[in-house]
């Protein structure tokens, strides 16, 4: 499709406030051609012979960075992305392995920790399995750079409802219309010399090349992801279906702001002004009228998400103050109530909101735990959680007691009543 459109497509960046939406249109013209390695494997490999080819950018989803035992060097192509990349690198080595500076810079954008290094490990694994020579492994190490990166932009995809109107406005039929939010940020962990080859910052683009990208990861995970994870389950139980619903509720907005500005940022030990500027952008992004974030979609694997995104903030707050953060503890109580299972069938496990079932999706052992303890009192549930799915609970004095009390109040009074009381204090 992209070749039929001569490498051209329109991108619409849509944002602003619900009362004042803003739309920017761009015609993307930087693509020369697309190659399908399953249809033209030789053309794919021939790319390795192009001296001007220097950068490889990957975004194959989290599942894409993995090795498959059935992949072979002689496959046309290997099934996995790392397998295909190894084939391409092997071809590059055969063509230019004796020349300095002819390797690749690989920019991995998958949403996993240490994405570039994980991709590199896969390539090294394939090289070993396929019996490629030691000189190739040395060339991989010395002439190629695998960069960890952090990408932050929400892409909402093909605008099905608006496509006909947009094509009429453009005067062309663009079957590859794409949409996203105006905010964008890309942190690339790489050596200083890369700034000369990739002068993004000089061009004024929201891209940084830094020796350590962990600062930016911590900023995003703890503030953006932490706030989303912290409010989403409570908001769903109170009747919201998408993030815009809770952003239209003044008390929910107060909760999010209090969690971010009072319970997270002061304890990050990062640049305070930068954190607050980023948080200001997060509040705008959460209120983007063009992004229909399903809270049930966000709820997937919430136990592990809460541990990774929210727990560090709770712990840091407690370590510095000797007391517990109100909003963060409430969000954990809301999670336990969201996982209060009422039924199951062949398709999965279900909680209930005002008597209407909703799916709860997580690892099987997590679901089985909450099913087994669905009739426990709040005190018993919290105690068993502290022994299994949330062992962290036992490490902080009075956390279990506060959680059990909040959960009991939620079940007796309703989550909206407890939430409103909390936010009015």
Question: Do the beta carbons of residue 357 and residue 343 sit within 8 Å?
Answer: yes
Tally of domains within the chain: 2
Residue 207: give its domain's CATH number.
3.40.50.720
Same domain, 331 and 354: yes
The verdict on 414 and 293 lying in the same domain is yes
Question: Domain check: are 159 and 228 in the same one?
Answer: no
Is 276 a member of any domain?
yes
* 229 shares a domain with 196: no
Res 61: pLDDT? 82
Tell me, yes or no, whether 2 lies in a domain: no
Q: Does residue 90 sit within a domain?
A: yes
* 181 located within any domain: yes
Q: Do residues 318 and 187 share a domain? A: no
Q: What's the order of all strands across the beta sheet hosting 105-108?
A: 55-58, 105-108, 145-152, 185-189, 207-210
Q: Are residues 279 and 139 part of one domain?
A: no
Burial 48-81 (b: 16+ CB within 10 A, else e): beeeeeeebebebeeebbebeeebeeeeebbebb
Q: How confident is the model at residue 324, as a pLDDT? A: 98
How far is residue 194's CA from residue 211's CA, in Å, rounded to a whole number? 11
Last residue of a domain, one of 181, 212, 243: 212
**Is 194 in the same domain as 291?**
no
**CA torsion 373→377→382→384, rounded to 10°?**
-40
The whole-number pLDDT of residue 313 equals 98
Question: Which residue among 212, 241, 268 closes a domain?
Answer: 212
Flag whether 135 is in a domain.
yes
Tell me what pLDDT residue 17 has: 87
Beta carbons of 155 and 179 less than 8 angstroms apart: yes
For residues 338 and 414, is the Cβ–Cβ distance under 8 A?
Answer: no
Dihedral of CA atoms 133, 138, 139, 141 in degrees, nearest 10, equals: 130
Sign of CA dihedral 262, 264, 270, 276: negative
CATH of the domain at 344: 1.10.1040.10
Host domain of residue 99? 9-212
Round to whole Å and give the CA distance between 283 and 323: 26
pLDDT at 62: 80
Same domain, 186 and 282: no
In this structure, the answer to whether residues 401 and 297 fall within a common structural domain is yes
- If asked whether residues 378 and 281 sit together in one domain, one would say yes
pLDDT digits (tens, 9 = 90+) for 70-127: 999 999 999 999 999 999 999 999 999 999 999 999 999 998 999 999 999 999 999 9
Helix axis angle for 226-237 and 250-257, nearest 10°, is: 150
222/346 same-domain check:
yes
Would 57 be classed as within a structural domain? yes
CA nearest 123: which of 142, 146, 102? 146
pLDDT at 199: 96
Residues in the chain where the model's pLDDT stays below 50: none
- Domain stops at, among 212, 227, 243: 212
Residue 1 falls inside a structural domain: no
Q: How many residues does the chain have?
A: 425
Give the 3-state secondary structure of residue 185.
strand
The DSSP secondary-structure symbol of 14 reads E
What's the DSSP call for residue 36? -
108 is a domain residue: yes
Shared domain for 224 and 177, answered yes or no, is no
């Amino acid at each position: 499709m992209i070749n039929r459109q001569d490498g051209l497509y329109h991108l619409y960046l849509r944002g602003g406030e619900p009362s004042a939406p803003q739309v920017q249109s761009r015609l993307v013209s930087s693509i020369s051609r697309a190659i399908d390695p399953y249809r033209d494997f030789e053309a794919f490999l021939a790319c390795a012979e192009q001296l001007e080819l220097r950068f490889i950018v990957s975004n194959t989803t989290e599942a894409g960075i993995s090795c498959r035992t059935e992949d072979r060097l002689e496959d046309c192509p290997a099934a996995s992305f790392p397998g295909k990349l190894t084939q391409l690198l092997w071809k590059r080595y055969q063509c230019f392995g004796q020349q300095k500076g002819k390797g690749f810079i690989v920019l991995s954008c998958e949403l996993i920790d240490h994405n570039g290094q994980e991709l590199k490990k896969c390539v090294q694994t394939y090289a070993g399995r396929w019996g490629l020579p030691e000189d190739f492994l040395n060339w991989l190490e010395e002439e190629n750079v695998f960069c960890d990166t952090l990408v932050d932009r929400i892409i909402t995809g093909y605008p099905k409802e608006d496509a006909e109107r947009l094509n009429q406005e453009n005067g062309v039929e663009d079957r590859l219309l794409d949409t996203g939010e105006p905010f964008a940020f890309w942190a690339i962990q790489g050596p200083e010399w890369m700034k000369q080859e990739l002068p993004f910052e000089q061009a004024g683009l929201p891209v940084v090349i830094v020796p350590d990208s962990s600062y930016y990861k911590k900023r995003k995970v703890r503030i953006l992801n932490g706030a989303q994870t912290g409010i989403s389950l409570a908001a769903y139980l109170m009747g919201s279906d998408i993030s815009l619903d809770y952003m239209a509720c003044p008390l929910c907005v107060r909760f999010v702001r209090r969690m971010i500005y009072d319970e997270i940022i002061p304890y990050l030990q990062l640049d305070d002004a930068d954190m607050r500027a980023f948080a200001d952008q997060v509040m705008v992004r959460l209120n983007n009228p063009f992004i229909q974030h399903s809270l049930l979609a966000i709820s997937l694997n919430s136990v592990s998400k809460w541990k990774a995104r929210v727990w560090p903030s709770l712990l840091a707050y407690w370590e510095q103050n000797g007391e517990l953060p109100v909003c963060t503890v409430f969000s954990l109580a809301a999670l336990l109530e969201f996982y209060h299972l009422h039924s199951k069938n062949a398709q999965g496990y279900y909680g209930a909101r005002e008597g209407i079932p909703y799916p709860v999706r997580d690892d099987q052992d997590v679901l089985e735990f909450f099913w087994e303890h669905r009739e426990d009192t709040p005190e018993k549930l919290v105690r068993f959680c502290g022994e299994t799915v949330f062992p962290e609970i036992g490490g902080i004095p009075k956390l279990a007691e506060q959680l059990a009390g909040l959960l009991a109040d939620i079940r007796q009074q309703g989550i909206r009543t407890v939430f409103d009381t909390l936010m009015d204090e």
